[in-house]
Amino acid sequence: MAAAKPRVKVPKSASKGEVVVLKTLISHPMESGQRKDKEGNLVPRQIINKFTCEYNGQLVFSCDMDPAVSANPYLEFSAKVEESGTFKFTWVDDDGSVYTEEKKLTVQ
């Protein structure tokens, strides 16, 4: 499989105390381990099983994912921001791979 490609959308700026909407998408096949290939063999399970988002080191959002999640999982959630900082998004794959993306946000 080609390396998963994370994408995130974060506003560049916000007002103090504003609730901002964060959007994430990662290109990933999310193989459940139940599908068969052309020869009838099971395709090994390979899913993103954990996602976290931190802002300035504080956990904002996290979730566990199961095989029923579709390919290229998209997540949208909100966070209230009080100060400028950096969002760190982390996806963990079954095979131990970790994908991260960081975006800065300026609070005015």
The domain spanning residue 19 has which CATH number?
Answer: 2.60.40.10
**Percent of the chain with pLDDT strictly greater than 70:** 98
Which residues are registered as beta bridge partners of 45? none
CA 9 to chain centre: 11
Q: Give the predicted TM-score (pTM) of the model.
A: 0.90
Residue 17 is part of which domain span?
5-35+42-107
Give yes or no for residue 34 having a pLDDT over 60.
yes
pLDDT of residue 55: 98
Domain count of the fold of the chain: 1
> Exposed, middle or buried by CB within 10 Å (0-12, 13-18, 19+), for 87?
buried
Q: What is the pLDDT of residue 33?
A: 85
Maximal CA-CA distance, the chain:
59
Please write the tens of the pLDDT for every residue from 52-80: 999 999 999 999 998 888 899 999 999 99
